[in-house]
Structure 1
Amino acid sequence: MNAEEVRERAKSLPREPGVYQFRVDGTTLYVGKAVDLRSRVRSYADPRSARIRRMVDRADEIELAVTDTETQALLLEANLIKRHQPRYNVRLKDDKSYPMVQLTAHNAPRIEITRDPDGEAGSSAAASGPTVFGPYTNKGQVETVVKALRETYGVRGCSDHKYSGRDRPCLDYEMGLCTAPCTREIDLESYAEDVSLVERFLEGETGILADPLRREMEAAAEEQNFERAANLRDRLETVEAFHGEGGEAVQTRSDERAVDILGVAIEGEDATVARLRAETGKLVDRDRHTLEAPGADTAGQPNDEAADGAAEGGVPAVLAAFIVQYYAERDLPDALLLPERHGDSEVEAWLEAEGVSVRVPGAGREAKLVELALKNARRNVGGRDECGMLADALEIDSARRIEGFDVSHAQGKAAVGSNVTFVDGSAEKAHYRRKKLTDQNDDYDNMRALLEWRASRAVEGRDDRPDPDLLVIDGGEGQLEAARDALSEVGWDVPAIALAKAEERVVTPDREYSWPSDAPHLHLLQRVRDESHRFAVQYHQTVRDEVKTVLDDVPGIGPETRKRLLGRFGSVENVREASLDDLESVSGIGTKTAETLKSRL
């Protein structure tokens, strides 16, 4: 687009807050926020840097999303940067994004919390698409509100697979979470009226949900059901706080119990932000985060970020981008200590609304803390972390997001599979999944079934997690081959490797690696492998204890004694082979019961 095309496009834009995207052939090049969309987009007719001029020249369209407030524009910008990873933005290298609430475009719409809406993020979709509300900064608050909406108006939350072809309502109907449009327990016209009430609440009419909750709370109190009344009171408080500015919860604080200290170091297009956490005056945590910061390699020099609200590039641009993107899924601290001002007026307004004190200390203890954060950042910048080293060693694009898989069973009984997730080298337990498998004493077939399940959910859009960069299979060549067969059959194109325990060999489809025992990237794989094994064994033990066995038919053996027997010997077969003395060593097993066990088994 040339300067005249940008000016012409800007003429038709509203003077409202929102987010804009420069795109080429459907690919997002740059995402920006604006208090006044018309004025901001028009400024790109005369870019402030050669690099941003090249971006404008490459772009063939500008897409918009109008928001109600400046804060919503700020949050939506961060969401879209994480979603599209545009080349010309400062990008935090993680998969976090802000939760949104989506009402799908079905005859009987489904309500769901998502970070990757079906329609354009952050805006109401057209009639043929879903309606999306948000983004929000507090996922727990959103979950509470959505549950309250379902309990009050009965909007379904099930997948299309569960919804279609039913001949009777599911458990959600019995629990009062859904009015069961699937079996026409409610006609679609009445259901649509309930959905419209949900939409009105999400659009800002707090009383749509608060009023029925208040009536229910008062009724519970009159019936002296005080526990229920207290629960409803807490829920009502959440609902009434939901429609703060931008939809986020604004927390009030009386003191600074939690303080985050940030330090920034930049080398080329790579940046590192070191974060220190102080609570009640003591350092309790420290971590480092890498960002891609194109054009921000010289602190204090103007670049394209200045055109989007930051007063200057370099460290200020990195700080502004990090603060918004990092705190997407985390509570903001009471105070932020920075090495210099971030210079973004929208970020400043957001932090002020959230009650966060932002300081750039010049001397004293706070200044020493900032210097410590800077030292931590400089130690990492330009170096490769274990995820980057693993990606290089395997010759893949990235290894930031890894999923690990393992299976566990007892001679084919109580077979289960585990699926754990690591992001930037750390366990992401909210994204762990587990699966009961068909009982069979075949590790290869079990692994094939587990990977077929995961791949099918991904390909069919039934898994709300982002696709991983790498799959790690606990096992050797046989397990890897079984996993790859499943991936190929389903059509899920994700690199997969295996890590064998015996010699810690890394098995890939093309070769095997024997890395040094102190290699950081090997340690990362070992953590993923060990965690998937632990999670599988834990689930197997739970399922095993739930499964009915021949022990249930032995007089004198109740559920607790059965658990102790299986916990001691591992399986019914091992109980059968145990001696009388071994059996009597289990709490609750006397001589008579031990003899009965031996005779029955």
Structure 2
Amino acid sequence: MNAEGVRDRAGSLPREPGVYQFREDETTLYVGKAVDLRSRVRSYADPRSARIRRMVDRADDVEIAVTDTETQALLLEANLIKRHQPRYNVRLKDDKSYPMVQLTDHEAPRIEVTRDPSESATVFGPYTNKGRVETVVKALRETYGVRGCSDHKYANRDRPCLDYEMGLCTAPCTREISAGDYREDVASAERFFEGETGILADPLRREMEVAAEERNFERAANLRDRLETVEVFHGEGGEAVQSVGDERAVDVLGVAIEGEDATVARLRAEHGKLVDRERHSLEAPGASDPTSGPAGDEGVGETGGVPAVLAAFLVQYYAERDLPDALLLPERHGDDEVTAWLEAEGVSVRVPGAGREAKLVDLALKNARRNVGRRDECGMLADALGLDSARRIEGFDVSHAQGTAAVGSNVTFVDGSAAKSDYRRKKLTDQNDDYDNMHTLLEWRASRAVEGRDDRPDPDLLVIDGGEGQLEAARDALADVNWDVPAVALAKAEERVITPDREFRWPDDAPHLHLCQRVRDEAHRFAVQYHQTIRDEVKTVLDDVPGVGPETRKRLLGRFGSVENIREASLEDLRSVPGIGQKTAETIKSRL
């Protein structure tokens, strides 16, 4: 688009808050937010930097989305950046995004909370407080019976499911409600998200009053809490995150930039003590250019460099995370909308010049500089395997004791780091068959993904702990469920990476091999840990040790605390327990 084309397009835009996308064919090149869409887009007719000028020249269209509030524009911008990964934006390299609510394009629409809405769905949001959104969605389902099941479960049913019995759905699948009445209930849910609070608050209030009159005080209290959530939901577009006061939690940020790569180091202090430190990589095209932002661009502030990286990081990182009471920054981020958002949330933002806070910022800067420019092991792994991306990896392993207490683990790594909130584990049917156990584990994961019962994004790659047999079992499970995700296995003996077509023997110091090993080892650790927990909780080998009856077993567990501690005890320690002699102690050691 030339300058005249930009001005013509801007002239047709509304003077309302919203988000704009510069696009080339079907590709999003740049996403920005605006208080006034017409004015903001018009500013691109004369961009300040060569980088933005190249972006405008490549673009052939500008798409917009109008929002109700400036805060919603801020959050929608962050979602679109993470979804489309536009080349000309500063992008945090993780996959967190703000939750939205969608009503699917179906004869009987489904309501759900999602981070990746369908193009054809009716979508509301984005919101930052997922717990609050889930409370509202559950209240809507209980009040209006809008279904929450997947289309797979909805199809071909001959009787209502448990949601109908629990009062969460009116069962349009089996025509327990007419299509017309169901559409009216869906329309009521839409009216709530469009701002009509009373359509949900009034029924909740009536139900609460009835519960109180019937002296069902626990139910009344639950409804009161739900009503409070509903009534404040539209106060700030539903985006409020409560701060805890007294600055009990402080985040300290440091930024380092090298070329088009940036690192933000985050230190967390609670009650005056450092409790956590982590580093995050960002793709920051043009960030090293201090004039990378177009005139007045609200997406990166008036300058590029560190302010641009900070502004992008603050919004993208704190999706699905509680904001701290205070933020200590190395310099001002320069984004008025981010400033207004943080002020509304009660977050104190400071750029310390001296004293202890300044020393904390210096420490964060040192952490950032130590990381910036390091080799991209995820990119190297993707290149080696011929994948588009390997940013999100899930690892799988199974563990059992000769077929008993069988369990499976499912760990997640994002950008090379463990994402423990996305770990999952599963009890398996007891059997001494690693291949069948792996098939069952992968079938469970794949079916949950295909049916929409897993709230995690699909991974780029699966890493199976094992060899060719485990990989074949895993791939058979994926094929049975029709979940199209690439999978490899990593055999421990020779550290060979096995794919369906070939084997790789990468150098011992290869960063991408180290990444696979970390995923494999963590899946193994998590599986063994869960197996030991299940084994100790359900049945222990002590039950079958000759000479160890209920009383002796009780004394052993009382003395050592757990089977694991008994396993590590010496013969002398075991003999110190009343009723256990040399022979019994030796038997216990051999059995454990």
How would you bin the TM-score normalised by the shorter chain?
Answer: 0.7 to 0.9
1:581 is paired with a residue whose SS is coil
Distance 1:580 1:281 in 2: 55
> 2:155, 2:275 → 1: CA distance?
50
Aligned equivalents of 2:275, 2:408: Cα separation in 1: 36
Is this contact kept in 1: 2:89–2:285, CA < 8 A? Answer: yes
- Give, as a single letter, the amino acid of the residue that structure 1 aligns with 2:200: L
Q: Which amino acid aligns with 1:255?
A: D
Instruction: Say if 2:102 and 2:121, in contact at 8 Å, map to a contact too.
Output: yes
* Structure 1 residues 145 and 541: alpha-carbon distance in aligned structure 2, compared to 1, 3 A threshold: farther
- Report the residue type matching 1:513 in the other structure: R
Alignment partner, residue 580 of structure 2: none
| C-alpha deviation, 1:200, in angstroms | 1.2
CA change 1:200–1:269 in 2 (3 A) is same
Q: Which amino acid aligns with 2:276?
A: D
Matched length: 554
Aligned to 2:317: 326
Q: Is the contact between residue 48 and residue 307 of structure 1 (CA under 8 Å) also seen in structure 2?
A: no
Cα offset for 1:118? 0.4
| TM-fit CA distance, 1:166 | 1.4
2:129 to 135, 138, 146: 138
Q: Please give the alpha-carbon distance, in whole angstroms, between the structure 2 residues aligned to 1:282 and 1:462.
A: 39
Alignment pair present for 1:193 and 2:159: no
- Asked if the contact 2:152–2:451 (Cα under 8 Å) also holds between the matched residues in 1, the reply is no
Matched, 1:315 2:342: no
- Check if 1:172 corresponds to 2:163: yes
SS in structure 1 opposite 2:540? helix
* 1:378-428 Cα distance to aligned partner (Å, 9 max, x none): 111112365456557667554321101223466667866443222233433
Q: Report the residue type matching 2:318 in the other structure.
A: Y
CA gap of 1:489–1:180, structure 2 versus 1, over 3 A, is closer
Matches within 5 A, 1:401-416: 401-408=392-399
Q: Is 1:510 matched with 2:502? A: yes
What are the Cα deviations for residues 260-292 of structure 1, in whole angstroms up to 9, with x where unaligned?
111111010000111111222222211111101
C-alpha change, 1:278 and 1:439, in structure 2 (3 Å) is closer
Q: Which of the residues 541, 565, 581 maps onto 1:568?
A: 541
Q: What residue in structure 2 maps to residue 38 of structure 1? A: 38
SS at match of 1:82: helix
1:497 aligns with 2:488: yes
Q: Distance in 1 between matches of 2:171 and 2:534?
A: 31
* Structure 1 residue 533 displacement after superposition: 3.6
**Aligned-CA RMSD value:** 3.1
Distance 2:231 2:21 in 1: 33
Q: d(CA) in 1 for partners of 2:130 and 2:246?
A: 24
Matched, 1:301 2:291: yes
Structure 1 residues 220 and 539, CA gap change in structure 2 (3 angstroms) = farther
Q: Which moved more, 1:49-58 or 1:267-276?
A: 49-58
Residues 410 and 154 of structure 1: CA distance in aligned 2, closer, same or farther (over 3 Å)? farther
The answer as to 2:404 corresponding to 1:423 is no
State the Cα distance separating 1:158 from its structure 2 match: 0.5
> Are 2:46 and 1:56 aligned?
no
User: Map of 1:332-343 to 2, 5 A cutoff?
Assistant: 332-343=323-334
In structure 2, the residue matched to 1:581 is 547
Q: Hey, what does 2:266 align to over in structure 1?
A: 275
Residue 224 (str. 1) matches residue 190 (str. 2): no
**Which consecutive residues of structure 1, in runs of 5 or more, have no partner in the other structure?**
120-128, 546-562, 570-574, 589-601
Instruction: Assess, with a 3 A threshold, how the Cα gap between structure 1 residues 176 and 490 changes in structure 2: closer, same or farther.
Output: closer
User: Any idea what SS the aligned residue of 1:407 has?
Assistant: strand
Residues of 2 paired with 1:132 and 1:2: CA distance? 33
| Map of 2:98 onto structure 1 | 98
TM-score, structure 2 as length reference: 0.85
User: Residue 109 of structure 1 aligns with which residue?
Assistant: 109
Consecutive unaligned residues in structure 2, runs of 5 or more: 556-592
Give TM-score, length-normalised by structure 1: 0.84
Q: Distance in 1 between matches of 2:266 and 2:400?
A: 42
- Per-residue deviation, 1:495: 3.9
| CA distance in 2: counterparts of 1:22 and 1:96, whole angstroms | 23
Secondary structure in structure 2 of the residue aligned to 1:307: coil
Structure 1 residue 527: Cα displacement: 4.1
Answer yes or no: is the 8 Å Cα contact 2:96–2:319 preserved in 1: yes
Deviation of 1:304 after TM superposition, in Å, equals 4.0
Partner of 2:2: 2
